[in-house]
Structure formats: structure tokens, C-alpha cells
Structure 1
Amino acid sequence: MEIKVALARAAHQEFTIEHATLEDPRSNEVLIKIVGVGLCHTDLVARDQFIPIPLPAVLGHEGAGIVEKVGDAVTKVKPGDRVVLSFASCGVCGKCHDHLPAYCHEFPVRNFLGTRPDGTSGVGVGGQAVSAHFFGQSSFASHALAFERNVVKVADSDLPLELLGPLGCGLQTGAGAVMNSFACPAGSSIVIFGGGPVGLAAVMGAKIRDCGTIILVEPVEARRQLGLELGAHHVISPAECNVAEAIRAIVPAGVDFALESSGLEAVVATALSVLGSRGLLGLVGVPPKPESAVSVNLASLITFGHRIHGIIEGDSDPDIFIPELISHIKAGRFPIQKLIKTYALDEINHAVEEQLRGNCIKAVLIP
């Protein structure tokens, strides 16, 4: 079938809106009409070749839509079902069996190579196959092919489906880091570095977990104010003070948990410095360079029992965690609409600029 896509043709260049062809779904695949897709930083680092997916490529990995057709082996969904798309996993390795599919042994192959696991692509432009199947979906498009394992049925018909795509990656990463990876107990203290969609989802997750002290470190005033509205007890501007001293003024003994979403070495170092005894630092931010590194004081690590945890996709099993987040949305505890601004898919380059300038927290593209 013919579809419309936003195509990444070259690193650091604008996306182009083009016509493409999409194959029918294979036995374990699902054809989805996309109604909304989140724009994530990971899409941009893939376009710019930090993730070396061959270009040209159809990216996009926070899709939501309506099932139009399913392969003959698919039993999880049927045509007409509303779904959120998340990352791909094999379903048979030990980590998948442990409900940790983000650590699937085949995660890079199934999410980053630009092909199906067998090396084929279901998307063509100008008669030539292009990279697709990004995170098992490539949803910067009017229609996408996903695998049965990475579609999650949305049972509630009263929710705006076009806004739910970011649950598949960014929002489940931030909320999941707090609710799954940390499993913050009630009354615990947490500092969140970065008030983008991942950080603000973490703020909402910390409120859901009833954390006693929630601190948000964020340079943009409007995002700090939104952080307070979403549940933060304290906000800190890194341009106005020594961040570590400001955090210690609030929690002198150091925090129980710190979540770092920027990937910047200096911020990671600050996050380590404010941990309390047996404090846990979670890292979700993509670093600016593959060789990015920080120095760790081993004596401090051993003396205070500090822990560092790299977190992928909020340690979530999408089939379990996305419905949980949807229940929080329905109850008003996870108001994602406060983060989202919508754009037409044709406006993708404008949306990229708006997001990079901080004029919008989470862009969602409507095909």
C-alpha cells in the first residue's frame, strides 16, 4: 500500500515528507493506521547517527493508532483495536521471560538496525528499500508495521488515543524509572535532573509513589513551574545557585534516589555527589558522545554504599506498565496532556525546532 512518511535522508538535515510503499503484514506483524506519534530525542540522535541506523530511514517510535490488518499468527489484537506501540523484543530469552524485555538479548537487532531480524525492510521509497522497523514500528508515517509483541491494546475508548503514543517510550521511561526501577517507598526523597518529558513523567511517578521530598532541577522557568504543578515540592534553577549545595540544604543527609535525564557528565557528577547513604542514581539520559564518561570516587561509593543503575525503558514490561499508566491518566494522577503540543506530521521540522528551543515539552505529530 502507499503511505506518507517523514524520511530522514541525511544526518543533521531536515526530514522530508515523501510517499512510500508498505508491505502487507507478515504472520506475526500488525498493520496500524497511525493517529499520533511522539517526537523523541532518540529519533533525532538516530537521524544524526549517534545510533548508526542506515539512512535514509523512517524513524518514529512512540506511535499510537488503529489496527487495520493482522498476520495469520496474531491473536493479541484484531482490526479495529486501539493500540499503543512500544519497543520490540524477542519474547523467548531469559530477560523477556523475567518481564524485563528492555534488556532482551536481541534488543539492538530488533530496534536499531533498520530492518526486521531477518534483514528485510517492509518500507520502500522510489522502488528501493529503506531503513524502517525502528523500535519495531517506524511510526513517523501514516501507517506502520509492528510486531505482535510490541503492540499494547488500549481498552478505554474515551481517552484521546493520539496523545497516548509517548507512553511507549519517553513517558514510560521517566515514570518507570521511579515506579519500577527505584520502586520508591512512600516518604523517600528523590531529585530529578531535567524537566523534559522524561523528567516530568518521573515527577508524576514520584507523586504517585508518595515520595516525601521531590526535587526538580531544571533551567527553564516554565518547566519548573509545571514541575511544581505536577507534584514537585522544590525546584532548583542550575543557573542561579550551586545545585549540590541547594539540594543538601533541602535534604542535608543526601537523597535516597537521583534520576539523571540529560546525559551530561557534569550533571551526572552532581547527581552522584548528592546521594545519601545507600543512595541510588538512575541514568536514563543519552550522553552527547559515545565516549562520554565520569569519574567515580570509589572510596565514597564503598563507604556510603552508593549505587548506579543504567535504566532502559523504565524497566517496564509494556503489556503490564502501559495499562497501569493509562489507569493513572484516567484517575487524573498522570496528566500527560499538560506536557503535549500537537503538530501535523508535515510540520515535523518545525516541531523539532520548537522542542529544541524549549517552546514545547513533548511534541506529538498527527499524520
Structure 2
Amino acid sequence: MEKWTRLLVILATSLLLLAFVAVAVRLSLAIHHTLLLFALGGLVAYALDPLVERLSRGRLKRHLAVALVFIGLLAVIGLGVAWLGGQIAQQTSAIKQDYPSYKDWAVAQATRIDDAFAARGIQTRLAEDINNPSASVQATEKRVAEQGVPILRRSVGDIGESVIVLLIALYFLIFGSDMREKFNGLLPPDLQERADLWETDVNRILGGFVRGQFIIALITGAAAALGCLAIGIKIWLLIGLFVVVAALIPVFGPYIGAIPALIAALVGPTHFGHNTTLAAIAVIAWFILINEAGSKVLYPKLVGAALGLHEVLVLFVLFAGLEINGIVGVLFAAPVAAIAIVTVVHLYRFWQDLPDSLLSNVARSDARREGQHAPAPQPPEPETAAHGP
């Protein structure tokens, strides 16, 4: 009877847990935009936390350190907008001036495609559709033009939401430690230390991922902009900014950023003159070099060590995140997977009554034990022994 009672209790608990998860998922879907804002605010807080910690190690109080960091951040943003705004306006006007050459290039490529299909007995009208758009194309252009005002309104809304994200990050930096202590205080005494270790591991993973990915994105964008400037692409700054955003996507982000650079090299004038093929080859080679340096040198040191995930697993979770929630899923897939693995490991250690420890300490102790059990290297035998007396 006791066995059946225990089984019923386990079954009822499992059903309650499933119901709780279902309700949590429904609520998350209902407030997904708010959750996204808080998640972005948390990521910004993780990126700025090392500066705050370094300033608060001295006599400076934490809230003053946070204020100094945010004043510096706003100053950098203001100077960046003041300088980048003029550059972006110039390069945008350059795109408008070079629009006829872009159209001529597109017509030439479309003519080549039409001729290639015509040689095989297939009639196409790509070049004619570009020169004389059909009614459906004109209707599409009209719809795009009519959407200009909503896009502008959305851009203004995005600026307002960016301010909200910064305010959320500010609150996280000031009150994050107090929130953590109060949350741990609600737990039973025997779980408080384990919860603290789990939170420390999560902070290490998220902090390392956010800071590493941000540094990689800045370095990749700067390298892409300098490379495009050296090749002679007029819109080098716009391409660099696009690459910074694209490089926030792990693994294949820099390749996405190479697309506008390749198009600009094929269309616009460069230092290679009218040899667009050579300019395109230079762009491809430069972006391959950037991505290889980022993936083979920077990513393992700045991000891979923090996540502790194999490259194949990272690719899997990225594609899974893309399928689940698009670009937002890609951005959050890798850290969420790493946190899930850390959580499972901590739960397993709790279930097996293993001692409390950070996972990084466990890995180091395992490595030391393997080194102790490994056979000591034997000194080489004398040469006379090898050849006999």
C-alpha cells in the first residue's frame, strides 16, 4: 500500500509540474516582448558589470561606480552618433548618387541570365522587368513606399525601447546583488549554498558569452570596415556597422555581413578600377580571413571557454533557435543551451549527494586526478643499453 501511495504522490507531483510549465509557457508567450526587453537589459548589465566591479574595488561605492559607467557609456554613444551620423549621411547620399550605376549593373547581370536561358530555349524577361517594371512590381514598390511612415514610427519606438533596456540594465547593476541574496534567503538552508554556486556558474557563462561576443563583433566590424576602405568601397562604414550587428550571431554571422560588401564590390567603383571580379575576390578573401581569425582564435578564447559547448552542438542549437524564434532565437540559443546543461549537472550533483562545488573547480580537480593517475614519463635509456655492451 505504501508503494502505491508513493507512486501516486510522484504521479500527482509530475502532473502538477507539467501544468505549471504549461501555464508558465502560456504566460511567457503573452508577455514575450517584455521578457525580451528584460533579457536584453540583463545582457547589457553583464557586459558592463566588469567595469563596475573594477571601479567599486576601491573606495568608490557600487551605485557611484554604476553612475560613472553609465555616464561614460552615454558619452561614448553621443560622440558615436555625432560622428557616425555625418558619415552615414554622406555614404547614404553616395548610394543615392550611384543608384544609376547599380541599376546598370543589375540590368547587365539580368541580360546575361536572359541570354543564358535563351540559348537553352527558355525565354525570360529579367532585364526588361528591371528597365520597365510590370504592374505587379510597381504595386509592390508603392506598398513599400506606403510603409515608410510605419517603419519610421517603429524606428522611433525602437529608440524608446533602447532607453528602457538601458534603464533595466541600470537597475540590474544596482540591485542585482540584493535580488540574488533575497532570493537565496527564501530557500531552505541546505539549498542556499547550492543555489549560490549555480548562480555563480550561470553568471560566469552569461558574462563570458556577452562580453566575448560583443568584443568579437566590434573587432570583426572594425576589420571589415578597414578592409572595405582599403579595397575602395565607398560605403565602408555602413558595411562595418552591418557586420557588427551580424557578428553578434555566433559562427556564421560574419558571412552574413559579407553579403553587402560583396554586392558593393561588384557594383561600385573600387581601387581595382573596373575590374569588379578582382574586387569581389579581394572582399571574399578578406572576409574569410576575418571569420577564420574570429572562429579559430577569438571565439575559443573569449566565448567557447565560457560556454563549454562543442562547435557542432553550437551549430545545432543555433539552427534550433532560428527555427523556434527567428533571429531572437539565434541570439539566445547558445547561452540558454549552456545554462540548461549547467542546471542539469547541478541537479545531478544534488540528486547524487555530491559535494557542493563550482563546475570550473570540478573540472580542475578532475584534471588534477587524471594527471596524478597518469604514468610518470620514463627517462630515456642510455644509448649503450639500446645497442648492447
Whichever of the two has the greater Rg, that structure is 2
Query: Normalising by the residue count of structure 1, what TM-score does the alignment of the two structures yield?
Result: 0.24
TM-score, normalised on structure 2? Answer: 0.23
Larger strand proportion of the pair: 1
From the two aligned structures, give the one with the greater helix fraction. Answer: 2
